[in-house]
Amino acid sequence: MSPLSWVEPADAHNARLVSNVHPIDWKNPTPAPCYNLVVIGAGTAGLVTAAGAAGLGARVALIEKHLLGGDCLNVGCVPSKALIRSSRAAFDAKEAGHFGVRGTAPAQVDFPAVMERMRKLRADLSPHDSAQRFAGLGVDVFLGAANFSGPDTVHVGGKTLRFKQAVIATGARPVQPAILGLSETGYLTNETVFNLTRCPGRLAIIGGGPIGCELAQAFQRLGSQVSLLHENEHLLDREDMDAAALVQHAFIREGVALHLNATITRVERDGSGKLVFYEAQGMEGRLLVDEVLAGAGRAPNVEGLDLESVGVQHDSHTGVVVNDCLQTTNPRIYAVGDVCLAWRFTHAADFSARIVIQNALFLGRKKASALTMPWCTYTDPEIAHVGLYERAARERGVEVDTYVREFKEVDRAVLDGEADGFVKIHVKKGRDEILGATIVARHAGEMISEISVAMAAHVGLGKLASVIHPYPTQAEAIRQCGDGYNRTRLTPTVKKWMGRWLAWQRR
């Protein structure tokens, strides 16, 4: 199968993408006698491992069976965020009247143009992950499916590569939901949805996690009538409940049809459409839609690597088993990114790769548990989080004090018309130590880094209150949480002595 058929449509943008991330005329190099590092998989985790190791002078082979750049560039972060940006423009145009801006006609979404913009931007970003760039960095790039063929060898495309250390960076893929009739009727996943050139009029999305929610809101804003079916009581149920509730309200306001506590029982073809049968809250229902999109979980890519033959333990749900130093049960083999981590994010893949470079090549003892890991779900409003949730703290028996600032009390958010949201910061009880935070705001992902920096640098909330934030900005909400913390330092005794001092001054 030609790599050109892996992304559709066959236009100039996708041809440019493929020429970078899986050139059809690529010739695999002659393997070196032995590599310091053989990296299997060239998504973010593999690319960062290979580039970093080669930059430090290691002899590195990087193997990719599909498209370099992996999920993030090709079928994940990049295309989804491009679509989300267009959908926000559509939403803002629709809402412009609230800001006193009126056009003569309602804004129209040109879906083919939205998708073409996405394909162009994806191709524009692809040189960074290209085979040519990595070859230029001194990495031997092999295109083909790899598997372990001996205790210190990997097999790819009829060639055997010998390694001192190897890294498994094979990522994850969408889980195929076990729903009667779904495979037969056909459905979209993140691997195919970005190939669309026509907007599905009616779209059922399975799964109210981050991927399902981001795409549900984007497609609703781009013109689909979206029905979102989720098995639990709330969307985004791993997030802070108050945060998830705000996003859920936004979805309802925007017309996304929510079916919570829903179990899909079967899917059938109905003329040119698809019938989705489900049960929710004891009732049976059915939806007639044009397309079904499954965003119901990710499974690690552990198959076909012959991991058993090299003593690498793995699990089909949680992936390759690693210790805190990201070493597998075979001490010569490490794992990075989605294939082994509970955090399935591009930045987690990136930073796990940095740990592995040091541990595998330089006898390092860097630990994944030492990372301060933020994340963000790019709905509108966004939910960004770092550190512990309140409930996780409780489960661990850690007592916390929580400081909340709602955006309706923050001037800039009010002026922006973005007053729905809050900053919530958890501090260890009795200590000025930030343990975690959640922000719900249109640009929460941009704001969370301030708290991540504070946590990583052991800067307390009291100190954040003394950092001058420009007025008016939404980030003032963080400083105001700090003010709230400092007010609690004012004990009755201190207050009493201050009162006496001021009374004495007035004599």
Ligand X SMILES: Cc1cc2nc3c(=O)[nH]c(=O)nc-3n(C[C@H](O)[C@H](O)[C@H](O)COP(=O)(O)OP(=O)(O)OC[C@H]3O[C@@H](n4cnc5c(N)ncnc54)[C@H](O)[C@@H]3O)c2cc1C
- Shortest gap between Cβ of 413 and ligand X (angstroms)? 23
Half-sphere exposure of 246 (CA within 13 A, CB side): 24
Q: Is 354 left (phi over 0), alpha (psi -120 to 50) or beta?
A: alpha
Instruction: State in angstroms the smallest separation of the CB of 367 from ligand X.
Output: 19
Q: How far apart (Å, rounded) are the C-alpha atoms in residues 23 and 65?
A: 12
Residue closer to ligand X, measured from CB, 61 or 465 = 61
What's phi and psi for 198, nearest 5 deg?
-125, 140
Nearer Cβ to ligand X (299/453): 299
The token pair at 32 is 């070196």
CA distances to 187, 234, 279 from 231, in Å: 18, 9, 10
**Residue 326 backbone class (left: φ over 0; alpha: ψ -120 to 50; beta: rest):** left
Q: Which is nearer to ligand X, 5 or 263 (CB)?
A: 5
Helix axes 210-222, 77-95, angle to 10 degrees: 40
- For ligand X, the closer of residues 63 and 188 by Cβ is 63
As a whole number of angstroms, the distance between CA 160 and CA 158 comes to 7
Which parts of this chain interact with ligand X (CB under 6 A)?
40-46, 63-66, 70-72, 76-77, 80-81, 145-146, 169-172, 190, 211, 301, 304-305, 337-339, 344-347, 349, 378
Reduced to 3 states (helix: H, G, I; strand: E, B; else coil), residue 76 is coil
CA angle 80, 86, 90 (to 5 degrees): 135
- Cα–Cα distance, 111 to 148 (Å, whole number): 44
In the bound complex, what is the minimum distance in angstroms from residue 170's beta carbon to ligand X? Answer: 4
Residue 52 or residue 70: which is nearer to ligand X going by CB? Answer: 70
Q: What minimum distance in Å lies between the beta carbon of 415 and ligand X?
A: 28
Nearer to ligand X, 307 or 388 (CB): 307
Q: Please report how close the Cβ of residue 78 comes to ligand X at its closest, in angstroms.
A: 8
Q: To the nearest 10°, report the CA torsion of 57, 58, 63, 64.
A: -40
Question: Do residues 42 and 69 lie in contact, with contact meaning Cβ atoms separated by under 8 Å?
Answer: yes
Beta carbon nearer to ligand X, 211 or 258: 211
Q: Which is nearer to ligand X, 50 or 464 (CB)?
A: 50
CB of 103 to ligand X, least distance (A): 31
459: tokens are 């800067």
Cis geometry, peptide bond prior to residue 9 (ω within 30 degrees of 0): yes
DSSP structure class, residue 420: S
d(CA 219, CA 203): 8
User: Amino acid letter at 139?
Assistant: V
- Shortest Å distance, C-beta 251 to ligand X: 18
For the CB of residue 156, give the shortest distance to ligand X in the complex, in Å: 7
For the CB of residue 272, give the shortest distance to ligand X in the complex, in Å: 26
Q: Which is nearer to ligand X, 194 or 407 (CB)?
A: 194
CB of 453 to ligand X, least distance (A): 18
| d(C-alpha 120, C-alpha 86), whole Å | 13
Nearer to ligand X, 228 or 349 (CB): 349
